[in-house]
Amino acid sequence: MSTSHKELCYFEGKIIPTTEAKISIQTHAFQYGTSVFGGIRGYYNPKKKNLYVFRLFDHFNRLVNSAKMMQLNFKKSPEELVEITLDLIRKSHYHQNIYIRPIIYTSALQLSPRFHDVDVELAIYILKLDDYLDTENGLRTIVSSWQRYSDNQIPSLAKSSGGYVNSALAKSEAVQAGMDEAIFLDANGYVSEGSAENIFLVRNGQLITPSLNSSILEGITRRTIIKLANDLKIPLVERNVLRSELYIADEIFFTGTGVQVAWVKEVDRRIVGDGNKGAITKKIQSLFFTIVRGEDDLYKDWLSSVY
């Protein structure tokens, strides 16, 4: 099977070569981060010769809700966005793992920062993408000196571009300290999430994840893992998580579209559990990868087949 594809994107209502999609330096969103975006994965299964996009509708539902929270004047429905995206992938002929990035952005060439009364546009581009962080060898992390922004500063349930300044600061701090990833605390000092992923801990056989009260982005992968834990009969609680629980957890893993399910080996130079990938993490991770590759019919409703 040829892996040749065309780098196409959706831009100003049309499908065009990605290299031709250009915006002005005066664009409102470029100056103020006044845009919302998504990150979606498609997994190519060579045995089935098909590409499966994971929870496409749910991602677009969150994107449209993000636009609503920000008062962006965006008219398309999640259903329309699903159709546009599948058409774009088909026309691009991708036969490998991909990452899809939709952005709703203030396209006007206007000066004052605001959300009301500004023109918006939709752009969607696609990248080839395998693993974003290592999922096999264990990640080294630190608790960030940067606090996760609170919902009354920037809506935490919206995936808004401006909010990612917070993520970028935390990620750079962690990587420059020789680590792989950062863990944010919220304004009350409770564990929130990673720079671009949600977090789960295992203590005494129970899965624990911060609730929406901890300024987290409500991850589609997080929601997936909560459902899988239920199906696997692994007890799970959403609650406030103490920083010190990170130091004594038996297992910790991150979840997110980019990171997938990746386990954490170290937090603030303390080894998590016995320093190996834990039993519950293994179970969840292996079921997750089976599902996204289209190899478990029980969960096929989560997948959109491209071909």
Contact of 144 with 182, CB cutoff 8 Å: yes
| Residue 171 touches ligand PMP, criterion: CB under 6 A | no
Q: Does 198 bind ligand PMP (CB under 6 A)?
A: yes
Q: Of 144 and 167, which CB lies nearer to ligand PMP in the complex structure?
A: 167
Integer Cα distance of 25 and 303 in angstroms: 37
Among 42, 219, 273, 278, contact with ligand PMP (rule: CB under 6 A): 219
Q: Does 185 bind ligand PMP (CB under 6 A)?
A: no
Site size for ligand PMP (CB under 6 A): 14
187-201 residues labelled b (16+ CB within 10 A) or e (exposed): eeebbbbbbbbbbbb
Query: Binding to ligand PMP by residue 210, rule CB under 6 A?
Result: no
49 among known catalytic residues:
no
Local structure of 176: helix, strand or coil: helix
Binding piece for ligand PMP, criterion CB under 6 A, among 23-31, 65-73, 122-130, 254-262: 254-262
Nearer to ligand PMP, 255 or 304 (CB): 255
- Please identify which of the residues 6, 76, 159, 282 carries the catalytic annotation: 159
Distance between CA 228 and CA 287 in Å, rounded?
8
> 217, 226, 267, 284: which one contacts ligand PMP (CB under 6 A)?
217
Q: Whose Cβ is closer to ligand PMP: residue 118's or residue 253's? A: 253
Residues 21 to 60 in contact with ligand PMP, rule: CB under 6 A = 39
Could you tell me the end-to-end alpha-carbon distance of the chain, in angstroms, rounded to an integer?
A: 14
Q: What is the DSSP secondary-structure string of 9-63? A: EEETTEEEEGGG----TT-HHHHH--EEE--EEEEEETTTTEEEEETHHHHHHHH
What burial letters (b/e) apply to 286-307, b meaning 16+ CB within 10 Å? ebbeebbbbeeeebeebbbebe
Strands 120-128 and 98-106: antiparallel
To ligand PMP, the closest distance from the beta carbon of 257 in angstroms equals: 3
Q: Does 66 bind ligand PMP (CB under 6 A)?
A: no
CA dist., res. 277 & res. 245, Å (int): 18
Q: Does 222 bind ligand PMP (CB under 6 A)?
A: yes
| Interface with ligand PMP, residue 197, by CB under 6 A | yes
**Contact between residue 304 and residue 58 where contact means Cβ atoms under 8 Å apart:** no
Choice between 8 and 62, CB closer to ligand PMP: 62
- Minimum Å distance from CB 167 to ligand PMP? 6
Any idea which residues carry the catalytic annotation?
Answer: 159
Residues that bind ligand PMP (CB under 6 A): 39, 167, 193, 196-198, 217, 219-222, 255-257
